[in-house]
Chains A and B, each alone.
Chain A
């Protein structure tokens, strides 16, 4: 079936019966995805764009209200609070977790004995389901009986933070909890580091590069695509954080952990304001798109792809 490739076809021509048959089989094979995309993606996207211009409370049919949802958003203090809270989370948790994970991966890449054991230990927290881990950390952050404050008191901190019930400390608490999962990205970086060709280091060494120069001119450029990919995914994922806020704080205290998707969830499934929630969803999608595009555009400056040198791309 693949041998027909040999002759290039400069002009479009009619397909032979066997090619037609193959094309039909191809469409048949991907038909579940095509149906799925229409039913669960394109349809809903169009519908949610429409709903965002309506007032829709499920029990009654949607009423078209133009841009009213969006103008209401601009004046909605809870919306701005959700943006502020989530942006704070994204721009602390993502850089912290990426740099911490990268640092640990660099350490583990130093021909460590018992590497498998270390890897397992560091990855272990990722195996705890999110609900179980939210329950566990709620206890750890308990101001009176929690493990963390008992430890801080022993260190001599007289008035340790109230964590989840303090407006100032609830967000840091959730960020600390998110860093518990550092082993996930660490595994990825470790595999990336192990994939860097040894020759590159040897060549750098012959050129007289010390360990700092080797890191700067070999490790970092070689790792930049991986770091880039995880940065993009981290940003996308963190904007959508939900479970920790829902279970541990319910968005409080005084909206200190009022995450964007939590607000969206409350609007849609607690207050049944589906039109308004759709507008919220679209704004979130645009924000995510904006940051993804921003990272992509800046990437040409700092991401190095090995293929580029050989002119493959």
Chain B
């Protein structure tokens, strides 16, 4: 299943359907036109359905207290209350949550990028006994559900005294950076011409100098994809922080938002929506800033079969 991958990146170009030949029957072009008349309304309707919840999130986040409960719903808040956004920062320790999340995200991304690029280099470029067998093992680890290792790993971190610290969420990233990232990088490294290595070797570079002088600069697109999805993964992670972080001053944004969802400390719905909106903004911004990498990454994830 895996050997089928020859090019790691599938170009996401415009559709290449069979070009309808000139001079075909008139009937066909009428059918084509009718098809278009159905196609666009269906696509547009689907898009609207998917956007409605988002629009409602945005609209609710700008409403006055209690205006969410008005029937029928106001789509355009009156008045528009931008103040909700700064208010969230004051109502809950939003800045602290953001800082915690960023700290965890930064260090686990660092660990992932460093160790995955090194390990992938070993599998792509250096020859050693049983290399390909070991690589199959790397792939096999992707099939193991995380719950099987969850409890002993938790106990391990408990013994180390690492509960309620960021270490359980960052340190494991330094050990290989995840099977999938190793796989992605190795596939990418394989497309870098080996002549570059040879030339560097003649210039006196050692094996590991080649990695950071030749391979890593060439592999920037793949590293970019890993960084993007690493960021999203850690920014959105809920399960890990839920298990390992107890004190509120260590909480990530995901945990923090959940904490202030209800109960005595519950935020008003409009503020909660503003907080949710703000937690989504970096991800949305990242999508627009790096759309190409983004789509390539998603496609690679799903097409490698």
Contact = CB atoms under 8 A, between A and B. Distances in A.
B39 A136 contact: no
Contacts of B287: 120, 123, 127
Contact of B238 (A22, A25, A131, A140): A131
Contact of A191 (B50, B153, B299, B305): B299
B54 A48 contact: no
Given A112-B43, A127-B280, A268 B150 contact: yes
Given A40-B153, A247-B261, A229 B50 contact: no
B290 interface: no
B294 to A, nearest CB: 9
Contacts of B207: 22, 25
Contacts of A30: 119, 122-123, 134
A73 interface: no
A222 to B, nearest CB: 12
Q: How large is the interface on A (under 10, 10 to 19, 20 to 34, 35 or more residues)?
A: 35 or more
A261 B147 contact: yes
B279 A239 contact: no
Contacts, number: 311
Contacts of B57: 128, 132, 136
A213 interface: no
A289 B142 CA distance: 12
B176 A26 contact: no
Interface string B32-59: 0001000110110011001111101100
A65 interface: no
Interface residues of B, number: 105
A118 B299 contact: no
Contacts of B217: none
Contacts of A280: 147
B185 to A, nearest CB: 12
A90 interface: no
Given A22-B207, A278-B151, A136 B276 contact: yes
A305 B126 contact: no
Contacts of B197: 1
Given A33-B115, A127-B283, A201 B17 contact: yes
B152 interface: yes
Interface string B183-199: 00000000000100110
A307 B304 CA distance: 14
Contacts of B129: 23
Contacts of A118: 43, 47
B138 to A, nearest CB: 7
Contacts of B198: 1
B156 interface: yes
Interface in B192-236: 194, 197-198, 201, 207-208, 235-236
Contact of B15 (A22, A27, A115, A214): A115
A289 B72 CA distance: 49
Contacts of A139: 60, 68, 269, 273
Interface string B118-133: 1101110111110100
23 contacts: A22-B128, A27-B128, A29-B122, A104-B43, A107-B39, A110-B39, A122-B50, A128-B280, A132-B257, A135-B257, A135-B273, A139-B273, A145-B71, A147-B53, A190-B12, A194-B14, A198-B18, A226-B303, A230-B302, A240-B145, A247-B258, A284-B148, A307-B4
Interface of A: 1-2, 19, 22-30, 32-33, 35-37, 39-41, 43-45, 47-48, 51, 58, 104, 107-112, 115, 118-125, 127-132, 135-137, 139-140, 145, 147, 150, 154, 180, 182-185, 187-195, 198, 201-202, 205, 214, 225-226, 228-230, 232-233, 236, 239-240, 242-243, 246-247, 261, 264-265, 268-269, 274, 277-278, 280-282, 284-285, 288-289, 292, 305-307, 312-313
Interface of B: 1, 3-4, 10, 12-19, 35, 39-40, 42-43, 46-47, 50-54, 56-57, 60, 68-69, 71-73, 115, 118-119, 121-123, 125-129, 131, 134, 137-138, 141, 143-156, 158, 172, 174-177, 182, 194, 197-198, 201, 207-208, 235-236, 238-239, 242-243, 253-254, 257-258, 261, 269, 272-273, 276-277, 279-280, 283-284, 287, 291, 295, 298-299, 301-305
